[in-house]
């Protein structure tokens, strides 16, 4: 399981507590996120030392986004502007396995998908051991992304991110924030669900994501990463179905 980390370390204590509960009380392997936005070198080192002391072996490295509307947010003048910089900072000082993010449809701030893919290569060159892709609703986005990454020398595993649809509102918010297109297939499927049928939306999300996973697994992906949004039921159902089908 992965444990996220708020911008500027806003959920730092909660993240440490959850890591301890999952890893040391439950015996579950944990990937600890670190978001570098706003944090200076000393604060980063404090967090990373804590991860090390907790027995964390894998850290997922993101820049993170500045909290919107938080007038108290005061970024450190030496905060790192890019996740690739943070990867290099950690690699020089620690022996964690490092993950980093990739964007099959391009980061919302990227000048182009081509340029964004160059940053994936930079993250690898700076020490990233694997890439997790932002979620997508059309697997062709992922396959194209992987092909283009491989073409410029990205050799580390690239793991697809799966985001089941949990609600119409959350789907729209996340699409807006992450730049993941709500495809025609998704829109047509949702249009067949009666207005107000929240359970129907959740079931559609489960069925759609399950079919995505079937296709990805049959095409030899190196793993699956589920964005659960702290909603266990959908992901548990998907994983159980894939296990019963012998795909996991």
Give the pLDDT confidence of 12-52 residue by residue, as tens digits: 789 999 999 999 899 999 999 998 887 889 999 999 999 99
| Nearest-angstrom CA–CA distance, 158 and 224 | 10
Tokens encoding 197: 């049928």
Over residues 155-198, the pLDDT tens digits come to 999 999 999 999 999 999 999 999 999 999 999 999 999 999 99
Mean of the pLDDT values across residues 197-201? Answer: 97
Kindly give the interhelix angle for 41-53 and 83-93, rounded to the nearest 10 degrees. 60
Q: State both tokens at 190.
A: 């949702």
Element (H, E) at 134: strand 130-135
What's the rounded Cα separation, in Å, for the pair 29 and 9? 22
pTM of the model: 0.92
Give the model's pLDDT for residue 81.
Answer: 82
Q: Give the residue carrying structure tokens 């194209």.
A: 144
């Amino acid at each position: 399981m992965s444990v996220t980390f708020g911008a500027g370390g806003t959920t730092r204590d909660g993240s440490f507590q959850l890591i301890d509960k999952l890893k040391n009380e439950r015996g579950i392997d944990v990937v600890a996120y670190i978001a570098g936005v706003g944090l200076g070198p000393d604060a980063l080192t404090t967090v990373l030392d804590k991860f090390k002391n907790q027995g964390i072996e894998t850290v997922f490295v993101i820049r993170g986004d500045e909290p919107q509307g938080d007038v108290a947010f005061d970024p450190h003048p030496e905060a790192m502007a890019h996740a690739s910089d943070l990867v290099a900072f950690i690699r020089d000082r620690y022996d964690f396995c490092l993950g980093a993010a990739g964007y099959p449809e391009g980061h919302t701030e990227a000048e182009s998908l081509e340029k964004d893919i160059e940053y994936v290569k930079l993250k690898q060159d700076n020490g990233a051991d694997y890439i997790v892709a932002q979620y997508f609703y059309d697997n062709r986005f992922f396959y194209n992304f992987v092909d283009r990454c491989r073409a410029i020398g990205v050799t580390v595993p690239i793991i697809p991110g799966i985001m089941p649809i949990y609600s119409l509102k959350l789907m729209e918010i996340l699409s807006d924030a992450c730049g993941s297109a709500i495809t025609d297939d998704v829109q047509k499927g949702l249009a067949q669900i009666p207005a107000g049928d929240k359970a129907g939306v959740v079931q559609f999300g489960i069925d759609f994501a399950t079919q995505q996973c079937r296709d990805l697994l049959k095409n030899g992906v190196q793993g699956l990463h589920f964005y659960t949004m702290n909603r266990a039921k959908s992901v548990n159902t998907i994983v159980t179905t894939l296990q019963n089908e012998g795909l996991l």
